[in-house]
Every structure is written in C-alpha cells, then in structure tokens.
Structure 1
Amino acid sequence: MPSLRRNIVYQFLYELLIVFIPLFTIPYVSRVLGAENIGLFSYTYAVANYFVLFANLGIKNYGSRTIAMVRNNKEELNRNFSEILSIHIIFSIIVIFVYLVLLFFFVEDNLVIFLIQSIYVFAAVFDINWFFFGIEKFKLTVGRNTLVKILSVFLVLVFVKTQTDLWIYALILALSVFVGQSVVWFALKQYVSWRRPSWANMKQHIRPLFVLFLPILALSLYKYMDKIMLGSISSNVQVGFYENAEKIINVPMSLIMAFGVVLMPRIANMVTSKDKGEVFKLIDMSMEAVMLLAIAISFGLAGISFVLAPIFFGYEFEECGILIMGLAVTVPFMAFANVIRTQYLIPYKEDKIFVVSLFLGAAVNLIVNIILIPYMAARGAVIGTIFAEIIVCIYQSYFVRKKIFIKKYLLNTIPPILIGIVMFVFVFQIGNVMNINIVTLILQLLVGMFIYAVGVFLLMLKSRTRLMVLLRKFVVRY
C-alpha cells in the first residue's frame, strides 16, 4: 500500500509551491496590470470556469473514490477507468461546443480574453489527475505540475510588462494548466489499460457523477458568482479587489485542502476494507491538525491584513485589507467542513448531506449578494461568503454529529482559538502603532508566529488529544 506519510509530504510540498508562486507573481502582476485588468481577468475566468465544472462533472471526487475502491483488482480498475474517462470526454466535447457557440453569438466586449480563457475548458478534457489520486500516485502528478508552475512564473515575469499585456498573462496561465493536465498522460499506460466500454456499464456511473457534480456546482455558485455579480452589478475594479483578497485566503487554504486530497482515497479504501477503527483515528488526527493550522491562518491574516494589502498589491489595492480580514473569518469554517466532506461524507457516500449543505450555502450567498453588493460592492460579497461558509459548516456538522465526534472536535478548537485571539491582539496593535512598511509586516509575522508557537507548545504539554500526545513524543525523542 502506498505510504500515507509520503503522499501527504508530496501533496504538502506541491501546495507549498502553490503558496509561494503567488508571492512572486501577485505583487508584480497587480502593479503592472492594475485593478481594472485584474478584475477583467477574474470575471472572464469565472465565466469560463463554470464550463470547466460542467466538463468535469464531479469526476474529481467520484473518479478518485471509485478508482481507490477497485485499485487492487486490475480488471475492475481498467474497466472503471475506461468507462469514467469515456463519460468525461463526451461531456467535455459538448461543453466546449456550447462555450464557443455562446462566445461567438453573445459576447461583444473582450472577446479575445474570453477566447483565451476557453483553453481552460479544452484542458478539462485532459484532466485525469483523479485516476492518479485514486491509486495514490501523488509524486507523479506533483512532479510534473511543479515544473509547469515554475515555468509559468518565469514566463509571466519575462513577457507581462504593461497594462496592454493582459492577454499575454491570460494566455500563459491558461496554457500552463493545459500543459499540466496533458503531460501526465505519458505515464498512464504504466498503471491502466484501455477497455472498450459498453453503454450499459457506463450508465451506472452517470447518476453518482451527477450527485457529486451538484455540490461542486453549488460550491462554484458562491465561489465564482461573487465575481460575476460584482462585475455585472458593480465594476471590474471591485472584482479586482475581491479577486486579490480571495487569493491571499486561497494561498494558505490550499495547504489545508492537501490533507483532504491525500486522505480521501486512503479512507475510501479503508471503508471498502471495513477498517472503521483506523478511519476514525485518521479523522481525529486530521481534524485536530487542520484546525490548529486553520485558526493560526485565520487570526494571523486578520491581524496583518491592513498592512499586508498595500505592501503586497500596491496602494491602489488598499481596500483589500478589510476584505482579507473579512474572508479570514471563513477559514476555520471551511477547514472544519472540508475534513467532514473529504474524510467522511465522500468516502462513506453520504452525498446527500454534502449536496444539500452546499446548495443551502449557495442560496444564502446569492440572497446576501443581491441585497448587499449594490450598496457595499466587494464588502457585500465578503459578507455573503462569510454567511455561506458558516451555514455549510453548521449543516454538515449537525447531520454527522451522531456518526463522528463533532462535540469533541469543537471542544478541541477552543484552546487554539484563545491562542489565536491573543496573537491577533498583539499583531493588529503593532500595525496600528507603526507605519505601513515591510519592516512592520515582518515584525507582525515574527511576533504572531512566536505567540502561536509558544501557545501550542504549552498546549502540547497539557493536552491529551491524539495529535498533542504524538507531538509530545516527537519532542521528547528529538
């Protein structure tokens, strides 16, 4: 069986790369392109991404789960892969056709940017990462995508020089995704063989694919609807503010999501083996580790947000400070719900809870956006996102409370929250009394990390949770 620890390290290193890449590109691109162009890029990408979602049709979660369950049976692996891939290709071709028709008949402004963004839709056809996640070959996908990401950064820094280079920026990012999806195909034949699928067998996948597609659609409604509504009701400048604030939140959130990406196929395989005890041990450890990280990110980002925004993006993006602080509130709720979703709901096929929670969150977000965006612009969209993430987390937690230890998990988050509050007070106060510059930001980061690290160390000495006991043993040993 593949090493769980090694897979987590591979995925974590890849997510770290994704964290550091924006640290090189976002400040540069924000200053070169400006808020208006950043907003236009974000708006057109959000539209294209809806079509990508329809092309993928929930295959990322369903495909990974299915492959994980049959990976020990070569013939079943070949058959299921061929059937799921065939469905994926058929739907992708239909979606590409619809996207291009809509572009040429209904889009008048910014057609070139919309056409460039269509590369993302074409790239969806070649996305088979779900297969490699299912057989837990994370090193393969991580290695190839890492090289592509690094190359894309180099190209952006070399070729994007003025505000008129928006199309070049969009083209580089889109092609990097296309190449990243395509290169893993060269390794495919080592692990699976094509079997001509029958329609009778393919049909069995369609219903569960649609079931898992619904939550992805719902999630995208309040992930991308914010930008589309801001672009339609407010302005591209407001989209630019929201886009950059969201990027700051997404950077550390990708580290948290890495746990779910790696553990979901492993838990799905354990469920098939009826290894329930080990499943709940993994969920316990994962929830505690994820929440410890999420709370640090949430209070830390909120504390530095007013200093970070103008330094990182330029003073044109000063408004991003309050948006980052607002979005930081969502981090613990997203992290908590992500563990429930990827490590219990999806492996145990509790898809209905997953689907309903996200549609409920999308509905709440839509209503709040309609009410607040006309008056508060990007700030209104942030408030809508906060309400949506809280609702999703509460709904999922309520319906699994008798199956996993929700009350224990909530109690375990209280000490880190108290540490986070202390950290926030000190870090935010430093920003208040000092000038906005890089020295202030570095001091905030160092003080924040020191306070949180000391707090976690003291917690480790007293707590009896699985993670803290493990950390205590590690410290004693080394």
Structure 2
Amino acid sequence: MKVIKNYLYNAGYQILLMLAPVLTTPYVSRVLGANNNGINTYTNGWVTFFYLAGQLGISLYGNREIAYQRKNKYERSKTFWSIISLQMFTSSIALIAYLLAVFLFSSAFKVYFLLQALWIVAYGIDVSWYFMGMEDFKKTVSRNTIVKLITIALIFILVRNQNDLAKYIFLLGFAQLAGSFTLWPYLRKSIQWVKINEWHPLKRFYPALLLFIPTITTQIYLVVNRIMLGRMAPQAAVSQFNFGDNIVKLVLAVVTATGTVMLPHIANKFASGDVKGVRESLYKSFDFVTAVSVPMMFGLMAIAYKFAPWFLGNEYGPTGGVIFWEAPAILMIAWSNVTGTQYLMPIHREHQYTISVTVGAVINVIANLFLISLYGANGAAVATVISEFSVTAVQLFYVKGTIRRRALFAPIWRYLLCGLFMYLVVSRINEIMSMTIVNLILQVALGIIIYGGGLFLLKAPIIKQAKNLLKKE
C-alpha cells in the first residue's frame, strides 16, 4: 500500500507542477495574448538547458542513491551532503554562464531572460530528490500545494494586461524557488550533520554526469520544438504549441508519476537482490500505465478541436490540432517510463537508457526540420510522437534479454479496443454538442463508463489487480 500511497502523492505533485499554469491558462492566454505567451515560452526554453546543466542529473541520481542508503541514517546523511554540495556548486556555475550569455548575446527580451534566472537558483537548492528516495512524497506535495495556490492567486491579482509579462515570468520563477526553500526544514529530523571532509562531492560527479546525459538529451527534444518554432514560425505559433503540449503533459503526469515512485522502490529491491520482485513490479506497472494512458490518449483526441478554443480563447484554435496529433505520445512515454525510468535506471543500465533518448533527440531534430516548415505547430507535435516512439522501440530492444516482451504486450489489445470504441462514441457526441463545462463533464463521464465497462467485459488484467487491492483493504 505504501507504493500506491506514494503514487497518489506523486501523481498529485506532478499534476500540481503542471496544474498551476493550466488553471491560469484561460486567463493568461487572453490577458497576455499569443505573442507575449510565446516570448515566455521561448525564453524559458533557453533557461531550461542551463538549470538542467546545473542540476547535473542529480534528481534521478540522488533519488536512487538515497534509496540505497535509506536504512542507515549516517550513510544517508553523508550521501545527502555530498550530493547537495555538488548540486549547489554546479548550479552556481550554470547561473554565472547563463548571465554571461544573456548580457553578451541577448539583444531582444533581455529583461525576460534575466527574470527566468530564478529557475536556475530554484533547482540549485531543490532537495525533493531526497524525499523521493525516502519514498516520502507527502511532504513535497503538501508544501508545494500551498506555494502554488498562493502563486495562482497572485497571478490573477497582479497580471492584468499585456504589459504585465515581466510580473508573470517573475511569479512563475518565484513559485519554483519558494517551493524549493520550504522543503529544507523537514531535513532537520531526517539527516544529521557530517563533517565537510567526509562529503567528497567530486566522487559523485561522474555517476551524476552519466544520468545528466540522458536527462539533458531528453530535454533537448522537449524544448527544441519550442526553440525551433520560435526561429521558423511566428511567436503566436510557439504559444499555440506550448499550451497544447502543456495540456498533453498535464494528462501524462498522472501516468509518469509511477516512474518517480517505482524508481526508489525497484532500486531498493535490486539492492536487496530481489530480481523476481523487480520483474513482477515491472509487469504490473506496465499494465497499469497502459490501462490509464490509453483512455487519456483517446479522450484528448476526441475533444481536442472544440476544447482548445473554448478553454484558451479563439486565438488558440490551432492548439486543438496540436493536442490531437501529440496525444499518442502519452502512450509512448508511459511505456518508456516503465522500461527506462523504472527498469534500466535502477539496475545501473544507464548507458542503454542514454542511447535510447539520444536516438529520440536526433530523430526529433531531424523531424522538426521537415515537419515544422510544412505544418508549423502541428508538425512539432507529430515530431514529438515520432521521437517518443523511437525511444520506446530502442528501450524495448534492450530489455528483450531479461523481460518477456510478449508478457508485457499480451493484454494491450483489450485496452486499445476499449479506448478506440470510447473515442468513436465521444468524438461523435463532441461534434453534436456545444462545448460547455457541463457538456465536457458529461463527455468525460461517458468516456469513463464506456472504457471501464469494456475492460470488465474483456476481463482486462487491471480489473484483477484492482480486485486484489480491494481484498487487501
């Protein structure tokens, strides 16, 4: 039950990270306009590379290493101080490099670039990886919930017109910084002070660097779409793509939350030599993410074209196409989250994970070059799906020797069949109905009933998992 509770906490945490901008999106998209939102997306895309370089893959590395030392407070404390000192040092270097780049090379949007620097500071002091490694997700969720709610309120109060873009960028960065600060008081009871000469942060550099490579590579094909759109299309197209991508990623957060939860869980089993337990957890996790991601994918596709202009405003009509074409990435990322984050990473096969995401990054850049010029924001969405498919394919190739792929995919036809039938019904009803909050709720509820009923009729494995869980309760 601890894993399930942690999943629920982390799903809430991941949704919270995305929910703040999504809750404010209908307001901000209209008040700031497509052009200003495009500027925010473009400048934030650049700062992302710097704060990731500063964090150096420590989010995944720290999560895993703390999981290994969970039962030994002294060793856990020594691990914490060595990792956080390395993170602060590399983040300081990244901040200096970013500021130099802004002053030397940025002529347009300089003020906005400088305000984005708050994200580097925020990630430099972030210790959420420690609590994830301890499988203690409640603290991160509760503290960040308060910070995010305050930020949302301030956005509605302070961001009033198109001249308030700077305030909006500052509030988003400050929220991330405040969220990082509020976790530190909880460390007092969980760790102890260790003499500085026992930290040895440089010993952590190389293994963290190994995880940084796939992290930064993954971000290349997450951020490069926005940067290439900013260079090859109007700023309005950047914001149209960004809002569509955010909506897809919000839905995806419910699925990928399993990765952050299962990584320390599987790492702990691996460290204990429980190979059978690792495989069983993997099969169940793969079935779960498939069962959840399929209806999310088809559901978004069914309502995309009417939902986007209703939710964001008429200026964002093209965002409907972005959501429709990018929705299949939900399933691809869900699968790669299991094979990569939940399996390859905890058992020290980082090099194979790195190869998979590198392939995805290269394919994404190539696909963007052709598709953005032809189809604009929709082309960037299709490029995302192609790259995520390639990552999943490479990872499935690497796990073939240790994981039975036939066992992974045997029940998938049930989920796809139920999801497709749900899509056909909901999309037809969506065409007939006007888009209102009541009609949206009705369509979502109908989709859940159709999909859930189909799973019962076809006796999908997830139903058996749910029944076993209820019996344990």
Shorter-chain TM-score tier: over 0.9
Cα distance, 1:221–1:145 mapped onto 2, change above 3 Å: same
Q: Does 1:470 align with 2:469?
A: no
Which position in structure 1 is the counterpart of 2:426? 427
Distance 1:379 1:23 in 2: 20
Using the alignment, how far apart are the partners of 1:239 and 1:121 within structure 2? Answer: 23
TM-score normalized by structure 1?
A: 0.94
Work out whether residues 136 and 262 of structure 1, in 8 Å CA contact, stay in contact via their aligned partners in 2: yes
Q: In 2, distance between residues paired with 1:278 and 1:434?
A: 48
Are the equivalent residues in 1 in contact too, given 2:86–2:202 (CA < 8 A)? no
How far has the Cα of 1:8 moved from its partner?
2.2
Q: How does 1:99-110 map to 2 (within 5 A)?
A: 99-110=98-109
Contact 2:422-2:451 at 8 Å conserved across structures: yes
1:413 and 1:213 map into 2 onto residues whose CA distance is 33
Answer yes or no: is the 8 Å Cα contact 2:78–2:199 preserved in 1: no
| Percent pairwise identity | 32
CA contact (8 A) 1:82 1:196 kept: no
1:271-290 aligned at under 5 Å gives the runs 271-290=270-289
2:185 equivalent in structure 1:
186
Letter in 2 for 1:175: F
What is the CA–CA distance in structure 2 between the aligned matches of 1:205 and 1:477, rounded to whole Å?
41
User: Amino acid of the residue matched to residue 187 of structure 1?
Assistant: Y
Q: Is contact 1:119-1:174 (8 Å) kept?
A: yes
Name 1:225's counterpart in structure 2. 224
**1:331 alignment partner in structure 2:** 330
Aligned to 1:79: 78
Shift of 1:221: 0.6
Unaligned runs of 5+ in 1: none
The question of whether the paired residues in 2 share the 8 Å contact of 1:19 and 1:252 is answered with no
- Paired residues, number: 473
One-letter identity of the residue aligned with 2:420: I
- Match of 1:51? 50
Stretch moving more, 196-205 or 160-169: 196-205
Q: Is 2:392 the partner of 1:362?
A: no
**Inter-partner Cα distance in structure 1 for 2:202 and 2:267:** 22
Aligned equivalents of 1:423, 1:29: Cα separation in 2: 32
Q: Could you report, residue by residue, the CA deviation over 1:2-51 in whole angstroms, capped at 9, with x for unpaired residues?
A: 93233223223334545654453111111111111111111111111110
**Offset from partner CA, 1:423-475 (integer Å, 9 cap, x none):** 1111111223344544543443232222112112223xx34x3x432323467
Report what 1:400 is aligned to.
Answer: 399
Is 1:452 the counterpart of 2:451? The answer is yes
TM-superposition CA deviations, 1:182-218 (whole Å, max 9, x none):
1111121211123244599433322211110011111
Contact 1:249 1:328 (8 Å CA) reproduced: yes
- Give the letter aligned to residue 76 of structure 2: L
- Rounded Cα–Cα distance in structure 1 between residues aligned with 2:73 and 2:471: 44
Aligned-pair CA distance for 1:372: 2.2
Q: Taking structure 1 as reference, are residues 396 and 423 closer, same or farther at Cα in structure 2, changes over 3 Å only?
A: same
Per-residue displacement from partner, 1:350-391 (whole Å, max 9, x unpaired)?
101110010100000001111222232212211211110000
How far 1:55 moved relative to its partner?
0.6
- CA shift in 2, pair 1:437/1:71, >3 Å: closer
Contact 1:307/1:437, CA 8 A, preserved across alignment: no
Residue 9 (str. 1) matches residue 8 (str. 2): yes
| 1:314 maps onto 2:313 in alignment | yes
Which moved further from structure 2: 348-357 or 251-260? Answer: 251-260
Whether 1:60 and 2:55 are equivalent positions in the alignment is: no
Structure 2 unaligned spans of 5+: none
Counterparts of 1:175 and 1:151, CA distance in 2 = 11
